[in-house]
Amino acid sequence: MGMLDGKVALITGAGRGIGREEALAMAKEGCDLVINDIGGGSDHLTKEFKIADSVVEECKNLGVKAIANYDSVVDYNKAKGMLDQAISEFGKLDIVVNNAGILRDRMIFNMTEEEFDAVIAVHLKGTFNLTKHAAVYFRSLGKENPTLKNFGRIINTASDSGLYGNPGQSNYGAAKSGIATFTIIVSRELAKYATVNCVVPSARTRMTTDLTPKMTGYMSAKTNDGFDVFHPSNFAPLVAYLASDAASNINGEVFRAIGDKVWVYRGWRAVKKISNNWKPFTPQQLAERVESELMVDLPSKREGAATKEDLFNL
């Protein structure tokens, strides 16, 4: 018996890397799948149908049903078509995993409007498109059958760049931090019908090696006994768990996973304050007190980020 027996999932960007590993992990748990991938990978321009088709065959070989979809998540109506395809083929849809992504890294003074728009469109709008259509579907089922309780699962994908910021990725980081906040808000709106959670992978993929060559050495790290820390298969079980009934009480959370470790995050929080005896500050008072009081002994902006010691227990 698998944790996802009888479930149907749609995974976007599932032709390679993390999405493929998520599909395989869920297939091993008995989940039938719609494998969405345009086949263009990180450039999101060309199409190569065999990328999605090959993952479909891998999933079928694990004993589940699977079909391919080659449409772009950017298109609102085609995103709806992905859900319709799942329901037409399998009779229902239980799980949506928003994983599709691209990169257009550039320092802000060199970034073009097209590069900014493309990344926001795939990551943030693409996540909205699939989530919106899934929300309508889950809500409709829930209203038809009030005995159903948070039966749907939506799993969105953010990144370290969105949590901590990374020079050259203002477009990508803005989209990913937006996805994390989007998740928290939508989780409250859909609480009666579905859980909505966010995952933050750190894994070796084309986006973290081919498109970011300086990361290749770091992403190849292994422990002394040979454990491949950043292999994308290490991350996939978290998504399979969140997609299952065992995670029915987990909602509106942001999880980060690397290797054998999983973190749970909380968002923006105040770390220090100054006050002025119930009188508005003047600019002059702020000039005197912000640097000398408010900005002293603050935690690091990257507090909570995984360190080498965290990963390797050195």
For the chain, the domains span: 8-265, 271-314
For residue 154, give the amino acid letter. Answer: I
Residues 6+ apart with CB under 8 A from 268: none
Under the banding of pLDDT at 50, 70 and 90, the label for residue 205 is low
Strand (E) or helix (H) holding 195:
strand 194-201
Q: Phi, psi (5° rounding) for residue 32?
A: -80, 150
Mean pLDDT of the chain: 90
Alpha helices in 31-149 (DSSP H): 50-61, 76-90, 113-120, 126-144
Contact 130, 228 (CB under 8 A): no
Contact 196, 187 (CB under 8 A): yes
Per-residue model confidence (pLDDT) at position 41: 46
Per-residue model confidence (pLDDT) at position 226: 73
Identify the CATH assignment for 8-265 out of 3.40.630.10, 3.30.310.40, 3.20.20.60, 3.40.50.720.
3.40.50.720
41 φ/ψ sector (left φ>0, alpha ψ -120 to 50, else beta) = left
For residue 249, give the amino acid letter. Answer: N
Per-residue model confidence (pLDDT) at position 259: 86
Strand (E) or helix (H) holding 236:
helix 236-242
Known catalytic residues are 159, 172, 176
Using CB atoms within 10 Å of the CB of residue 108, give its burial: 0 to 12 exposed, 13 to 18 middle, 19+ buried: exposed
Residues in the chain: 314
d(C-alpha 291, C-alpha 173), whole Å: 28
d(C-alpha 65, C-alpha 59), whole Å: 7
* Radius of gyration of the chain from its Cα atoms, rounded to whole angstroms: 21
What is the pTM for the complete model shown? 0.90
End-to-end CA distance of the chain: 38
pLDDT over threshold 60, residue 253: yes
List the single range of 17-31, 34-48, 62-76, 102-116 with lowest mean pLDDT. Answer: 34-48
Q: If you average pLDDT over each of 49-58, 135-144, 252-261, which comes out highest? A: 135-144
pLDDT over threshold 90, residue 2: yes
241 CB neighbour count, 10 Å cutoff: 18
Per-residue model confidence (pLDDT) at position 43: 45
Q: Quick one: what percent of the chain has pLDDT higher than 90?
A: 76
Per-residue model confidence (pLDDT) at position 121: 98
Contact 200, 98 (CB under 8 A): no
Across 233-239, average pLDDT: 92
d(C-alpha 209, C-alpha 57), whole Å: 26
Residue that wins the pLDDT comparison between 312 and 68:
68
Contact 276, 288 (CB under 8 A): no
Q: List 33's β-bridge partners, or say none.
A: 9, 66
β-bridge pairing 152-157 and 95-98: parallel
Using CB atoms within 10 Å of the CB of residue 309, give its burial: 0 to 12 exposed, 13 to 18 middle, 19+ buried: exposed
Across 59-76, average pLDDT: 98
List the single range of 63-72, 169-178, 298-307 with lowest mean pLDDT. Answer: 298-307
110 CB neighbour count, 10 Å cutoff: 9
pLDDT tens profile 143-160: 999 999 899 999 999 999
d(C-alpha 281, C-alpha 236), whole Å: 50
127 CB neighbour count, 10 Å cutoff: 30
